Structure 1
Amino acid sequence: MNRCPVSLSTTGARRRAALLTLGLAVAGLSLPTLAQNQPRMFPAKALRGTLVVTQPPLVTLDGKAAQLSPGARIRGTNNMLLLSGGLVNQTLTVNYTLEAHGMVHDVWILTEAEAAEKRHTAASAAAAAN
């Protein structure tokens, strides 16, 4: 004896729910693709430089010793966060900001198109301040 008969309306509701779920999944997969085409906006105070992670948190920035701040964030070309340990001994063209104590706080690894854009370097910012 079947105590829970399946009616046609229940089957139709299941199909609609399945189609809705499938549609949302497809839409969710396409959104990251659209976001990749958006240019990244960097803070006005961000400087351009060449970064080499020597032994985290120690780095060289334009050939000079520097250090990552305790809360430093490094973003890859896809704007996803990267760990500094995975970047050891790689020479990277970056935009970066410094925190109040002079430690490197935010780092964006640049794509070729972003690297081609003009931006102040630490040397040009120091020259402009004098």
Structure 2
Amino acid sequence: MYRCVLPLALAASCVVAHAQTHRFFPAKALRGELVVTQFPDVLLNGQPARMAPGARVKNENNLWVPPAGLAGQKLIVHYTVESSGLILDVWVLNAAELANKPWPATPAESANWQFNPGNQTWSKP
């Protein structure tokens, strides 16, 4: 009986490991540098910004982390902004995601570039 469980456990761990290096981001996610100064205040690309109430931050391993726990660190992230302009979702990028270039840093770039959600790549016109 245990012989059947072990391959399933190994397969599940492989799926989790794959998900940790190849996350899927929404097309509206932008790339930037984030520094949490004093939550909910942050610097986004060197400019003051605020995180939304209920903002979600996931680290390189796709685990939720409290934003205040990241205070003072310069992080390269993908992020989304809600309609009020507050930062809503933040993903701290791992090495594989950092290597995925180009990625838009502004809404104007996002509007003009073409996104392929299947392989998570952007192409410039």
Tell me, yes or no, whether TM beats 0.5: yes
- Distance (Å, rounded) in 1 between the aligned partners of 2:39 and 2:10: 34
Paired residues of 2:77 and 2:91 also in contact (CA < 8 A):
yes
TM-score, normalized by length of structure 1?
0.72
**Candidates 57, 62, 67, aligned match of 2:45:** 62
The two structures, once aligned, show a CA RMSD in angstroms of: 2.5
TM-score, normalized by length of structure 2?
0.75
Alignment gaps of 5+ in structure 1? 1-18
Q: 1:101 to 1:89 in 2, by over 3 A?
A: same
Higher relative contact order (CA 8 A, sep 6+): 2
- Distance (Å, rounded) in 1 between the aligned partners of 2:25 and 2:39: 24
Q: 1:41 to 1:127 in 2, by over 3 A?
A: closer
More helix by share: 1
More strand by share: 2
Alignment gaps of 5+ in structure 2? 113-125
Q: 1:67 to 1:32 in 2, by over 3 A?
A: farther
Answering whether residue 115 of structure 2 is matched by residue 121 of structure 1, we say no
Q: 1:29 to 1:70 in 2, by over 3 A?
A: farther
- Distance (Å, rounded) in 1 between the aligned partners of 2:6 and 2:67: 33
Structure of larger gyration radius = 1
